[in-house]
């Protein structure tokens, strides 16, 4: 299939698509779905509002035609969506799509890792912010210890999936876990990515003072390990990577607060209810679900997506201040994943 490369107003091509398949999660993490705001009576999307697998497949084909090479499935917690391997299998048959990955809290991986692998999934990113059971239970808002997540990581490895670990670092909360997590991941051959704490959505009460920068974490690591910088593997790679020079294990940093990378951001996001977002911090979604359900042809869908991407000029992380964090209308992360 001949691809059409489309570019936004800042000349950035469309390369990546993150698809949220569900807005529910079995955790209530402080960073994205705090328990006090997502209580038992919180109304999540009804099933009819979610894009079906057939709708996701149809849109994914069009996105790939417009330049997308990688798709990442997110949530909420994507493994809560029934029969997810069916969707992975549908996506894996799309000509021109090079990579399918998944971001998960890992708890359900023992049940589905091998099915996901057989369906065509290549990689998983598992969120784990500490190895301390008590602290982990506090962060996930459900009192769940690390055991089910560690079992999930093992299951993914055994199934032959690539595994990376995402650790969001918040000052005063889990910064004491930086070295234990680095030790654990290095020993187990897992690539760890330190993610600077961000003002996603409007429910996590973010303050600049809570951020530990990439530079600070790097200095801590340098006291324990010898690190060598790695070149980016492709244009727009989000993580700045290093490797421990006595191993081939990488460690990375996602420094969207201290060293923003908007100028090479090639990601579009599709929410569970079929809205396209052109930035993690842009609260204005563009409906595509109803347009599709009202009978739009593939060509009309292609034109709509092209027009949305062509009008994009988002560069929120370049412009972030304490003020924008409080005042800018943003989409909750449970709708579009990280
Ligand atoms: S702030 Fe928006 S434009 Fe900038 S890197 Fe993040 S998602 Fe991309």
> Which of 271, 281, 313, 320 is the pocket-test mutation for ligand 1 (most atoms within 8 Å of CB)?
281
Q: What pLDDT does residue 301 have?
A: 98
Q: Ligand 1: does its nearest atom lie under 6 Å from the Cβ of 314?
A: yes
Q: What pLDDT does residue 202 have?
A: 66
Q: Ligand 1: does its nearest atom lie under 6 Å from the Cβ of 261?
A: yes
Q: Residue 320 CA: which ligand 1 atom is closest?
A: 1
Q: Ligand 1: does its nearest atom lie under 6 Å from the Cβ of 68?
A: no
Q: Ligand 1: does its nearest atom lie under 6 Å from the Cβ of 123?
A: no
Cβ neighbors of 88 (< 8 A, separation 6 or more) are 73, 100, 102, 116, 119, 120, 121
Residues of the chain with pLDDT under 70: 1, 201-204, 332-338
Q: State in Å, rounded, how far the first CA of the chain is from the last one.
A: 30
Helix axes 147-158, 109-119, angle to 10 degrees: 30
Q: Ligand 1: does its nearest atom lie under 6 Å from the Cβ of 328?
A: no
Asked if 332 and 31 touch (Cβ cutoff 8 Å), the reply is no
Going by alpha carbons, the residue nearest to atom 7 of ligand 1 is 279
Q: Ligand 1: does its nearest atom lie under 6 Å from the Cβ of 97?
A: no
Q: What pLDDT does residue 69 have?
A: 96
Q: In terms of CATH architecture, what is 16-336?
A: Alpha-Beta Barrel (3.20)
Task: Tell me how far apart the alpha carbons of residues 179 and 273 are, in angstroms, rounded to a whole number.
Answer: 39
Q: Ligand 1: does its nearest atom lie under 6 Å from the Cβ of 281?
A: yes
Q: What pLDDT does residue 23 have?
A: 92
For every residue of 241-269, DSSP letters joined together read EEEETTSS-EEEEE-TTTS--GGG--EEE
Q: What pLDDT does residue 328 have?
A: 76
Q: What pLDDT does residue 34 have?
A: 79
Of 129, 130, 74, whose CA–CA distance to 277 is shortest? 74
Task: Tell me how far apart the alpha carbons of residues 22 and 81 are, in angstroms, rounded to a whole number.
Answer: 6
Task: Tell me how far apart the alpha carbons of residues 66 and 187 are, in angstroms, rounded to a whole number.
Answer: 41
Look at the block and give the residue holding tokens 């801590």: 220
Going by alpha carbons, the residue nearest to atom 4 of ligand 1 is 262
Between the CA of 265 and the centroid of ligand 1 the distance, in Å, is 6
For the chain, domain boundaries: 16-336
Q: What pLDDT does residue 203 have?
A: 62
| Model confidence pLDDT, tens digit, residues 284-329 | 999 999 999 999 999 999 999 999 999 999 998 888 887 787 777 7
| Model confidence pLDDT, tens digit, residues 2-25 | 789 999 999 999 999 999 999 998
């Amino acid at each position: 299939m001949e691809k059409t490369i489309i570019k936004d107003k800042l000349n950035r091509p469309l390369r990546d698509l993150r698809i949220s398949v569900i807005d529910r999660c079995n955790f209530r993490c402080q960073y994205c779905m705090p328990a006090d705001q997502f209580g038992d009576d919180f109304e999540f999307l009804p099933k009819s509002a979610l894009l079906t697998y057939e709708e996701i497949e149809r849109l994914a084909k069009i996105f790939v035609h417009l330049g997308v090479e990688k798709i990442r499935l997110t949530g909420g917690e994507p493994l809560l969506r029934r029969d997810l391997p069916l969707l992975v299998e549908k996506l894996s048959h799309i000509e021109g799509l090079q990579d399918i990955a998944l971001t998960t809290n890992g708890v359900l991986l023992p049940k589905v890792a091998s099915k996901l692998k057989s369906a065509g999934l290549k990689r998983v990113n598992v969120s784990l912010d500490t190895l301390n059971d008590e602290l982990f239970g506090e962060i996930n808002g459900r009192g769940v210890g690390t055991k089910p997540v560690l079992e999930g990581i093992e299951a993914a490895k055994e199934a032959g999936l690539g595994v990376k670990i995402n650790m969001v670092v918040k000052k005063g909360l889990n910064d004491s876990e930086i070295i234990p997590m680095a030790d654990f991941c290095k020993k187990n051959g897992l690539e760890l990515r330190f993610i600077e704490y961000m003002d996603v959505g409007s429910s996590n009460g973010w303050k600049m003072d809570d951020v530990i920068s990439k530079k600070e974490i790097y200095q801590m690591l340098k006291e324990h390990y010898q690190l060598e910088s790695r070149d980016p593997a492709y244009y727009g790679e989000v993580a700045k990577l290093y490797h421990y020079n006595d191993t081939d294990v990488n460690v990375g940093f996602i420094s969207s607060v201290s060293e923003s990378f908007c100028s090479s951001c090639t990601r579009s996001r599709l929410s569970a209810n079929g809205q396209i977002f052109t930035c993690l911090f842009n609260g204005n979604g563009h409906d595509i679900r109803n347009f599709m359900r009202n009978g739009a042809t593939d060509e009309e869908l292609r034109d709509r997506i092209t027009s949305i991407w062509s009008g994009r000029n988002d560069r929120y992380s370049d412009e972030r201040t304490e003020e924008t964090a409080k005042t800018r209308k943003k989409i909750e992360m449970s709708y579009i994943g990280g």
